[in-house]
């Protein structure tokens, strides 16, 4: 039976690379429309999990459904319904802002008219009308990240996966970025975000904390703080990482 409240359902997900277990028996759900924080130390297995959820990698075992589709059998359907912003930089440096948007819009099969109208409103919203014909390589990192995020949700996916979207970005731009995440969430897109910054964890509706391939805590930030008797998410995180 499909649960319509959950847009992502993961049961006993295991991913092994040789003898190394990157994801050890993960089980969790992500609810439609929420901002789901996916936290963990470096090498905890976040990126591995996000790649499986977005159809870039096969799970070793377990059951994974994204937007109602099985990631084993219906990967292309999964891909139609998700947006993805990778840790690596994903725009073409030698194309302009507008050309990048147009290209990604095009390969998602959007109509010319839609691409044109949406590009205009997007440039308006990002206040990037002046630089629409500048090459991506000439822009500061924070701006690139905002454009990359906008491109990832350009085709109106049901879910967007953000893999450390605010890495290396200044606090002001990070704040702007979270504004964009809220707007996205308000428009009905589920946001699945990984991060290192614990203050950002507080902005999420629910948070899961991974350590050594396992999920050690999963709840709202409030509940997690109660559960671990911590003042803030920072403490929660440290308690989990030190527990072992």
Q: Contact positions toward another protein, by CB under 8 A?
A: 51, 54-58, 75-77, 79-80, 82, 84, 86, 88-95, 99, 102-104, 106-109
Shortest Å, Cβ 151 to another protein: 8
The CA angle 162-229-232, to the nearest 5 degrees, is: 40
Shortest Å, Cβ 89 to another protein: 6
Shortest Å, Cβ 108 to another protein: 6
- CA separation for the pair 123, 113 (Å, rounded): 16
Shortest Å, Cβ 240 to another protein: 27
- Residue whose C-alpha is closest to residue 201's, from 222, 179, 177: 222
85 vs 209 by CB, closer to another protein? 85
Shortest Å, Cβ 156 to another protein: 13
- CA separation for the pair 161, 55 (Å, rounded): 11
- CA separation for the pair 25, 10 (Å, rounded): 9
27 vs 137 by CB, closer to another protein? 137
- CA separation for the pair 198, 40 (Å, rounded): 10
77 vs 196 by CB, closer to another protein? 77
For 3-23, letters b (16+ CB in 10 Å) and e give eeebbbbbeebebeeeeebbb
56 vs 241 by CB, closer to another protein? 56
β-strands 69-70, 61-66 pairing = antiparallel
Shortest Å, Cβ 190 to another protein: 16
β-strands 159-163, 190-195 pairing = parallel
């Amino acid at each position: 039976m499909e649960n319509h409240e959950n847009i992502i359902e993961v049961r006993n997900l295991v991913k092994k690379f040789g003898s190394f277990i990157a994801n050890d028996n993960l089980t969790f759900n992500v609810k439609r429309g929420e901002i789901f924080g996916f936290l963990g130390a470096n090498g905890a297995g976040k990126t591995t999990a996000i790649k499986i959820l977005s159809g870039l990698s096969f799970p070793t075992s377990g059951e994974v459904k994204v937007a109602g589709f099985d990631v084993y059998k219906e990967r292309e359907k999964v891909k139609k319904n998700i947006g993805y912003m990778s840790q690596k930089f994903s725009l073409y440096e030698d194309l302009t802002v507008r050309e990048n948007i147009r290209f990604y819009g095009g390969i998602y099969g959007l109509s010319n008219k839609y691409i044109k109208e949406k590009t205009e409103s997007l440039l308006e919203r990002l206040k990037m009308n002046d630089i629409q014909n500048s090459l991506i390589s000439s822009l500061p990192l924070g701006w690139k990240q905002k454009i990359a995020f906008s491109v990832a949700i350009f085709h109106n996916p049901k879910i967007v996966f953000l893999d450390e979207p605010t890495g290396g970005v200044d606090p002001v731009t990070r704040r702007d970025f979270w504004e964009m995440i809220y707007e996205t969430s308000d428009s009905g897109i589920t946001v699945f975000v990984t991060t290192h910054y614990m203050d950002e964890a507080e902005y999420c509706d629910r948070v899961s904390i991974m350590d050594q391939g396992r999920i050690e805590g999963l709840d709202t930030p409030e509940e997690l703080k109660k559960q671990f008797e911590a003042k803030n998410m920072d403490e929660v995180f440290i308690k989990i990482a030190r527990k072992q």
